[in-house]
Amino acid sequence: MEHLLEDYPVITEIPVAWGDMDALQHVNNVVYFRYFESARIDYFGKMQMMEKAKGSGIGPVISHTQCFYKVPVTYPDTLLVGSRVRDVQEDRFTMEYAIFSKSLNRVTTTGTATGVMFNFLTNRKTSIPEEVKAHIQKIEAGGIASS
């Protein structure tokens, strides 16, 4: 398992809930976006982004997200969701995710999300603060421990 997620600096463990499954007895496609969201918030937590956004009024909004399903996941299972930032631009960044199933012992799902920095006080997009860029670099370099 370690080698499949070794390039993801933040790993979030998520138990599959019975209610995550649909009528076809596998995790519903919409639920994977919640898994990605949990991983994203975990990543942001490492850099205290949400707390800083409350003070500055500047934070990320998701402009685009996608998911690639490789193998169905079913209950019971425990998932490890790896997250990383693969691209940082002036006003946006792209995150990548990989979901590893402990039961299946493989990556079942991958995805991406693009976040745009937004100033909620002016209702306009804005540049990524240098402090945020520095935190991303530190996490990606392994400077902040995984959960």
| Per-residue pLDDT at 70 exceeds 90 | yes
Residue 57 lies in a domain: yes
**How far does CA 57 lie from the centroid of its chain?**
21
Give the residue numbers spanning the domain of 55: 2-140
pTM of the model: 0.94
Q: Which amino acid is at 108?
A: T
Please compute the mean of the pLDDT values over residues 75-102 and round it to a whole number: 98
Length of the chain equals 147
pLDDT at 145 over 60: no
Binned at pLDDT 50, 70 and 90, residue 81 comes out as very high
Is 59 domain-assigned? yes
Residue 114 resides in a domain: yes
Segment 10-67, tens digit of pLDDT? 999 999 999 999 999 999 999 999 999 999 999 999 999 988 899 999 999 999 999 9
CATH of the domain at 81: 3.10.129.10
Cα gap 120→68, rounded to integer Å = 31
What total number of domains does the chain contain?
A: 1
Task: Tell me how far apart the alpha carbons of residues 147 and 142 are, in angstroms, rounded to a whole number.
Answer: 12
pLDDT computed for residue 2 by the predictor: 59
- Rounded to 5 degrees, φ, ψ at 14 are -135, 120
What pLDDT, on the 0 to 100 scale, is given for residue 143?
Answer: 72
Residues 6+ apart with CB under 8 A from 141: none
The torsion angles phi and psi of 134, rounded to 5 degrees, stand at -65, -40
Q: What value does the mean pLDDT of the chain take?
A: 95
